[in-house]
Chain A
Amino acid sequence: MAEEEEGKEYRWETGYEKTWEAIQEDDEGLLEGSVAEIIQRAKRKRQAERHGNTRLGMMRHLFLVIDNSDCMSNQDLKPTRQLCTIKLLEGFIDEFFDQNPISQMGIIITKSKRAEKISELAGNPRKHIKAVQQLTQVACSGEPSLQNALELALRSLRMLPSHASREILILMGSLTTCDPGDISVTVQNLKAQGVRCSVIALAAEVHICHKLCRETGGLFGVILDDCHFRDQLFQHIDPPPAATFLDSSLIKMGFPHHLMQEGKEASLTMCMCHVDSTDGEGGRLNSGGYFCPQCCSKYCELPVECKACGLTLVSAPHLARSYHHLFPVDNFKELEFRDMQDKIELCFACQKRFGEHDKHVYECGTCSRIFCLECDMFIHDLLHTCPGCATNHSTSQSMSNDSVPPR
């Protein structure tokens, strides 16, 4: 602490780090970062835990709480904790809306014992990314206040309808929190309101964070390095199982078409999303757009909540993409490559030749095709259909019957 403040220290003055000791040999004497293995194992484990046929909170309302206090300028993540976090968040926000198109997100930062909302609860990833990117300009200062941040998030989340899932994800760099009152009351409030709080700690396990997660049913994780950080962060992309007391209700949605008035003299109009933004980009007048079926307001992109009439506007593929979380591809069977060596040579998906490095291969339970680890991950994380089943006529028929959503 005292050293950091002096700040004028050169790298060679900071004493020696025995970096060679951090590298460990694995069982076979190979120098491989043990961290990568941990992450992979954890990923597989998480996948294995996922089952079909559970109720998921699909309309997610997530508040990101970002610690922006003093200790975020710590350099244990390169270049600094703050910059690393921002970089990862950009990817996270994109991916989040890609996988959960009918969800909304808001961003809160906490520093100097205060909490501040830098981005309201909304479904537009670009706006959030911009807000996050602007954080690079903000200096890290003071101590964070967990309670203020939680209260602020709760104030917005409380208003939501009962079918919406409410979540808070906290990125905590600090080991302390400076709160105005008794935080355990806030925790109980959150629990009563059914808000699921998760914490990713960048430094170490802090009791109150752990308790918060345990009480509200969220996940708690401490990162090992930036890769692990990414992994911890991205596991929040999959929608969590719905809380039992979440109501189910019918939601009115609009499916606007993209209209371009061609041929005629197109009248240039502003879209509703950019009507009050002052910066030039996107604020230009154009002729095409999505028109709300209820009130004919124009929007340049979907999904969005209509500003005029409050209707949720989505396109069918969005809904379908959200839907596939409900029917995940069954977990593949893990097989020892050694036993399979004679029978199989190539990964069915990427056509990679299996070699010495592959300890395990993975078999789809339905079509019995064999995949490598990377493809296994890719199929389950992103693709959500098994290429083996999709190319096989009989299985793809049966699959499409139960996985394509009714329009």
Chain B
Amino acid sequence: MKLSVDGLLVYFPYDYIYPEQYAYMLELKKGLDAKGHCLLEMPSGTGKTVSLLSLIVAYMIANPLSVTKLIYCSRTVPEIEKVLEELKKLMTYYEKERGQAPKMVGLVLSSRKNMCIHPQVSKERDGKIVDGRCHSLTASYVRERHNYDDSIPICSFYEGFDIEGREVQLEPGVYSLDDLKEYGQERNWCPYFLARYTILHANIVVYSYHYLLDPKIADVVSKELSRSSVVVFDEAHNIDNVCIDSMSVKINRRIIDRSTANIQLLEQTVNEMKEDDAKKLKEEYQRLVEGLRDASVARETDVVLSNPVLPDEVLKEAVPGSIRTAEHFVGFLKRFVEYLKTRLRVQHVVLESPASFLKDVYQKVCIERKPLRFCHERLASLLRTLEIADLTDFSPLILITHLATLVSTYTKGFTIIVEPFDDKTPTVSNPILHFSCLDSSIAIKPVFDRFQTVVITSGTLSPLDMYPKILDFHPVIMSSFTMTLARPCLLPMIVSKGNDQVAISSRFETREDVAVVRNYGQLLVEIATIVPDGVVCFFTSYLYLESVVASWYDQGVVDSLQRNKLLFIETQDAAETSLALLNYIRACESGRGAVLLSVARGKVSEGVDFDHHLGRAVLMFGIPYVYTQSRILRARLEYLRDQFQIRENDFLTFDAMRHAAQCVGRAIRGKTDYGIMIFADKRFSRADKRNKLPKWIQEHLKDSLCNLSTEEAVQDRCLGVIGYRRNELQQSII
């Protein structure tokens, strides 16, 4: 259908539009007009993606000068593929309505692992190995060597692309991963490099967050994207954690050991090279004297997305003399690694700021701040000069130089924590040095500064006002939309007490209480008897899950559960969990029915959808507060309090509630879906918790559903609301 959104003609590829989609488009249009950032929450399954795409594409056609590019960031490969599908539908619709598709190139960029078509390399499973092998076939010196020695293998697809690919522009159209691979096969071009090259002039780019947020990758991939782009972060409820993870470094003994081995290898190679080909090293030296000027030229013209790892000052200066020659640099690295090794040899927890760390480095091993800053670039340069093709082996050393550069660049917003052992196993010595980013705004700041409109959207972003604070930006539009439903298809309930009127809560003081555990068990058993197919439960931590299941065994809860359904448990082991998940799905499909016990913040709670029969009910046992004893968290809380005036409790509640919403939101993935959501904790009924749930859940959470006991919750009356028995009506409506 064609519709006018505030005067803009939008082609919408479906015959019907939901009111919330229209409202969403209106808000989005306002944001685009104002050239500002937006924060939009709309439940999953209401067609967020298609609304976004159709509006922005229409806007790009109407105002080709003000918005030139759409960068759509999503989390996982399946999600990215879904976006492409919608985009294809939209383009087909344009073609049908207007006789021709708009002249736009839309494509996806993913890792080499997903895009490689080289017959051998693409067989590899591990992403890092694929990257390494690709690099060893396509690096410039490898190809140079191939010119006079045919026995050195190169990738024919890359060669094909290199010869012809850069001249030709991709035909307008939408290219998914498979399309690109096919296109590559036909023309003998490498799809990965084709995509990387094409994103510069493509109109719509779909890729993962990391290509924009992770400074290590963003520098390579996304630096030349123009300012007049619209950036969309979909499923962005965890964006602050992604930012922090991309700027943090964790170093343990293993990494130290492996990087020592790396250094030895470097040393050896340098020596060899000195004997054969001293000229090359000299050339490198000259280059370094001249400094990283080329890079700084590029940045001045403002075409480069600035890299937060490498601040502007670094580019203007020449590499300091002390690390200019290869031997000196290797020695320098050796000293630094030795220093880190001594730091790991501690008996008690150390917490210090980057500044005092730098001072200590200077005192102990005479390393100044300035050369440390160049560490990362210097190593990259050295590896290039030494013609080491396989970079994967050097990842520990690269990580260490990363740490060196970060620690010497930023004095604010970071902290260094050295823990001699894990809190759970205080007897086993396992020292870890955390270099932890406390400020999520550091990584995302260049993105906000760089692009005129950044849209952050997800099904669960409540409470909305927290995100501008922790990401430090000023949105022009901030809205939450609810789901219009022909009939109530979700039923949130807060169960606060068991049949024996004992309050249930996962509070630290009561969580091990037999009565609480028994009441949780009883609730689950009751739900399992009346709910068909799949039931998913979320616990607050693996530890709690294990202890509860153990006592359920003793109390006989597990037996009565298994009378109705099969029981599956998520564990920390990824392979085990995916096996459990697979069998859970099989049990639901075959009508046997199953219960899945999993953990909030675990693998299942993020990214696995329990749509339709896979999740007819979700139970949230307790409030999923993050582990508050963690020192990293404490440091972050303190930082948030000092810098952004966010009270610790506010942040913790915000974080817990968004995870709770995320967990229960797994069950409802669209309007035809239906399910029960049970929040089993007394504390959920308090206003400060309840109000932080997304609007679309709150809307259905009536006061009468807020303080129930187990038996009230499983009464027929409640289930009748949702239509476990009203299948007929449901069918007549949909």
Contact = CB atoms under 8 A, between A and B. Distances in A.
B387 to A, nearest CB: 56
B711 A222 contact: no
Interface stretch (B126-134, B356-364, B529-537, B633-641): B529-537
B438 to A, nearest CB: 46
B362 to A, nearest CB: 66
B44 to A, nearest CB: 20
Contacts of B564: 1, 175-176
Interface stretch (B371-379, B487-495, B720-728): B720-728
Nearest to B727: A222
Contacts of A209: 591
A157 to B, nearest CB: 21
Nearest to B613: A207
Given A207-B613, A220-B727, A179 B712 contact: no
Contacts of A342: none
Contacts of B592: 176-179
Nearest to B533: A207
Contacts of A208: 589-591
Interface in B483-532: 522, 525-526, 528-532
A176 B716 contact: no
Contact of B717 (A1, A21, A175): A21
Interface string A160-194: 00000000000000011111001110000000000
B49 interface: no
Contacts of B530: 175, 203-204
A204 B725 contact: yes
Contact of A176 (B589, B591, B711, B726): B591
A38 interface: yes
B593 A175 contact: yes
A207 B560 contact: no
A178 B612 CA distance: 21
Contacts of B529: 1, 175
B563 interface: yes
Contact of A221 (B588, B591, B716, B728): B728
A174 to B, nearest CB: 9
B715 interface: yes
B532 A207 contact: yes
B525 A204 contact: no
Contacts of B729: 38
Q: How large is the interface on A (under 10, 10 to 19, 20 to 34, 35 or more residues)?
A: 20 to 34
User: What DSSP secondary structure best describes chain A's contact surface?
Assistant: loop
A31 interface: no
B525 A2 contact: yes
B532 A205 contact: yes
A22 interface: yes
Given A1-B564, A175-B532, A207 B589 contact: yes
Contact of A204 (B565, B612, B724): B724
A184 B717 contact: no
A206 interface: yes
A206 B725 contact: no
B554 to A, nearest CB: 15
A146 interface: yes
The interface centre, meaning the residue of A42, A177, A183, A222 with most chain B CB atoms within 10 A of its CB, is A222
A83 interface: no
Contacts of A220: 727
Contact of B715 (A17, A178, A201, A207): A17
Contacts of A176: 532, 564-565, 591-593
Contacts of B522: 2
Interface string A299-335: 0000000000000000000000000000000000000
B561 to A, nearest CB: 9
A224 interface: yes
B728 A184 contact: no
B593 A15 contact: no
Interface in B695-734: 711-712, 715-717, 720, 724-729
Interface of B: 522, 525-526, 528-533, 560, 563-565, 588-593, 612-613, 711-712, 715-717, 720, 724-729
Give the top 8 A-B pairs by smallest Cβ distance, nearest first: A208-B591, A207-B613, A222-B727, A204-B724, A175-B532, A176-B593, A206-B532, A204-B532
